[in-house]
Amino acid sequence: MQGTVLYGPGDIRFEDVAEPRILKPTDAIIKLAATCICGSDLWPYRGLQPVDGPQHMGHEYCGTVVEVGRDVKTIKAGQFVIGSFATSDNTCPHCKHGFQSSCEQREFMSGAQASYARVPLADGTLVATTEVPADDLLPSLLAVSDVLGTGWYAANAARVQPGSTVAVVGDGAVGLMGVLAAKQMGAERIIAMSRHKARQELALEYGATDIVTERGDAGVARIKETTKTVGADAVLECVGTNESMHQAINAARPGGSIGFVGVPHGVELNGEFLFFSQKNLLGGPAPVRRFLPHLIDLVLTRKINPGKVFDQVLPIADVAEGYKAMDERRAIKTLLRV
Ligand SMILES: [Zn+2]
């Protein structure tokens, strides 16, 4: 089998790798229907996160189960399944509270930019559809696995409610999914912060009502101006830099909430700043498993079309070009055909 391996900054290869096999009795092996490149894959690709030795990439997936371990009870070979990038037993106290991404048995998926992948804790991690979905729904089902689940969590953590005024920091795929989520949750105003034409258009299509092109303090000033100096009820932080995190906190009104899902790189928050900000903060790796049944249903009934966020489709053998295109912001998100 061939798979995607990152050797170091800018060095991504599609090459022979060991075929995945059942390592624990709770594992499943799936044949990928499609896979994709995540914004978070760009951190090590850009050299902003250390790479200790060759790394088998890919954590977003949907496909057909081909084999299960002997302790797997509910998931069966032949089923079409979608899972999260964080595996979970779905039975421990954290899972029961809806924070499956902090499951006591959590592992982070890898190796999914390939034809086959191993999924640990199959029963708790995977959700099966009742029938094999139509081909044209595959991009949207794949999006549910991480990018939509993460955007959804950002809106959920930011406590978006019907009538809310929402600001979304970051116009990457997750930010755009955050716009979609806020719209579904009934937000009245959704301010997308973006300076890229194509991304602004997709944000508007997904439900944004306003576009703010300024960043940092100027971006915050624009949000204040457009909310009668109050600030937003809910802010979705979908970048992870020090500037974007401060921008998100400052754009919320006192008592407002920030859902932060951008993996932090160099974010430093001052205690006094937090104290006087007087805002709710919840973030972290999205507990996508909590939202999977609902999001899969929204896709299968064609109420949402998150798959539109994939503006580049490549055969998986060209995965290196996909990383390059996303790195250079020529593509929002790349789907890889397997
Ligand atoms: Zn658990």
Could you list the pLDDT tens digit for every one of the 338 residues in the chain?
999 999 999 999 999 999 999 999 999 999 999 999 999 899 999 998 888 889 999 999 999 999 999 999 999 999 999 999 999 999 999 999 999 999 999 999 999 999 999 999 999 999 999 999 999 999 999 999 999 999 999 999 999 999 999 999 999 999 999 999 999 999 999 999 999 999 999 999 999 999 999 999 999 999 999 999 999 999 999 999 999 999 999 999 999 999 999 999 999 999 999 999 999 999 999 999 999 999 999 999 999 999 999 999 999 999 999 999 999 999 999 999 99
User: What is the Å distance from ligand 1's center to 17 Cα?
Assistant: 30
- What pLDDT, on the 0 to 100 scale, is given for residue 95? 98
Q: Would you call 109 exposed, middle or buried from its count of C-beta atoms within 10 A (0-12, 13-18, 19+)?
A: buried
Q: Write b or e for each residue in 153-171: b if 16 or more Cβ atoms lie within 10 A of its Cβ, otherwise e.
A: bbbbbbbbeeebbbbbbbb
User: What is the Å distance from ligand 1's center to 251 Cα?
Assistant: 34
Which residues are close to ligand 1, an ion, with C-beta < 5 A? 88-89, 92, 95, 103
C-alpha distance from residue 105 to each of 91, 112, 144 (Å): 10, 20, 22
User: What is the Å distance from ligand 1's center to 88 Cα?
Assistant: 5
User: What is the Å distance from ligand 1's center to 107 Cα?
Assistant: 10
- What pLDDT, on the 0 to 100 scale, is given for residue 92? 98
Q: Please choose, from the candidates 203, 225, 223, the residue with its C-alpha nearest in 3D space to the C-alpha of residue 212.
A: 223
- What pLDDT, on the 0 to 100 scale, is given for residue 33? 96
- What pLDDT, on the 0 to 100 scale, is given for residue 52? 86
Whether the model clears a pTM of 0.75, i.e. scores above it, the answer is: yes
- Where do the H-state alpha helices sit in the chain? 42-45, 93-96, 122-125, 138-143, 149-157, 173-184, 197-206, 216-226, 242-251, 271-277, 288-300, 319-327
User: What is the Å distance from ligand 1's center to 209 Cα?
Assistant: 38
User: What is the Å distance from ligand 1's center to 105 Cα?
Assistant: 6
CA distance 253 to 227: 10
User: What is the Å distance from ligand 1's center to 64 Cα?
Assistant: 23
At 237, which helix (H) or strand (E)? strand 232-237
